[in-house]
Amino acid sequence: MIVIGKDKTLDNYFIDENGVITDSNGKIQKIYLHHGRPHFKGAKVYQIQMWTNYGYRDVNFWVIHHKDGDVLNSSLTNLTYITRSEHTTFHQKGNKNLLGFHHSEEAKQKISKATKGQNNHLYGKHHSEEAKQKISKANKGRTRSEEVKRKMSETRKRCHWYNDGVKNYFCEHCPEGCIPGRKDEDIKKEKRS
């Protein structure tokens, strides 16, 4: 019997220590490649190998790591469970392209431009009341160091409100030709009176 998921098993199939899957008659089963990974019946062969021999583990926390780096090698001696964070750290250390990588100023500007306004995935969306309550609850009792409080205060002293004719914005430097806006507190005071 092999395990192909949290509560899924295939009773008539078996996997050996080298990752070869056979049926109950000993016939070797075909494995197909999907996105460069060997699959059988919708599950990755290395997952089947580990889940069958060591039990299913939550895929949100645990990663099956190939010791030799070859994702096609699903032998039991080549596989091990490690945490997702350990896996990320391991591959970042081994990848000279990622280690210490910083975007150029030009790239940062392009990323910024590409994710502003209507291009932003959160544009026009608002938190539900339930989400606001969760955020509020998570921040209750949170203490900030004196240094953080000082920095926040300094930032607020430098910042300005401006209005583009449609909406009020909070920024460090008003863009040229902007219409001075109003702070939200001023708007709320007007509504109360």
Q: What is the pLDDT of residues 38-89, one digit of tens each?
A: 777 777 788 888 878 877 777 778 888 888 878 788 888 888 888 888 888 7
Average confidence (pLDDT) over 166-170: 64
Asked if residue 133 has pLDDT above 90, the reply is: yes
CATH topology of domain 2-94: Homing Intron 3 (I-Ppo) Encoded Endonuclease; Chain A (3.90.75)
Residue with the larger pLDDT of the pair 183 and 106 = 106
Residue with the larger pLDDT of the pair 21 and 190 = 21
Residue with the larger pLDDT of the pair 100 and 62 = 62
pLDDT given at position 156: 67
Percent of the residues in the chain that have a pLDDT greater than 90, as a whole number: 5
CB atoms within 10 A of CB 192: 5
**71 in Cβ contact with 34 (< 8 Å):** no
pLDDT given at position 123: 86
pLDDT given at position 111: 85
**102 in Cβ contact with 110 (< 8 Å):** no
Q: Which ranges in the chain belong to alpha helices (H)?
A: 45-54, 84-94, 105-114, 129-139, 146-158, 184-192
Average confidence (pLDDT) over 125-143: 90
Asked if residue 188 has pLDDT above 70, the reply is: no
pLDDT given at position 175: 56
Q: Domain ranges for the chain, please list them.
A: 2-94, 145-193
Cα angle at 147 between 142 and 153, to 5 degrees? 85
Percent of the residues in the chain that have a pLDDT greater than 70, as a whole number: 70
Asked if residue 190 has pLDDT above 60, the reply is: no
pTM metric for this prediction: 0.42
Residue with the larger pLDDT of the pair 58 and 127 = 127
CB atoms within 10 A of CB 10: 19
Residue with the larger pLDDT of the pair 120 and 129 = 129
Asked if residue 120 has pLDDT above 80, the reply is: yes
pLDDT given at position 86: 83
> Cα–Cα distances in Å, from 25 out to 12, 13, 14, 74?
9, 9, 10, 22
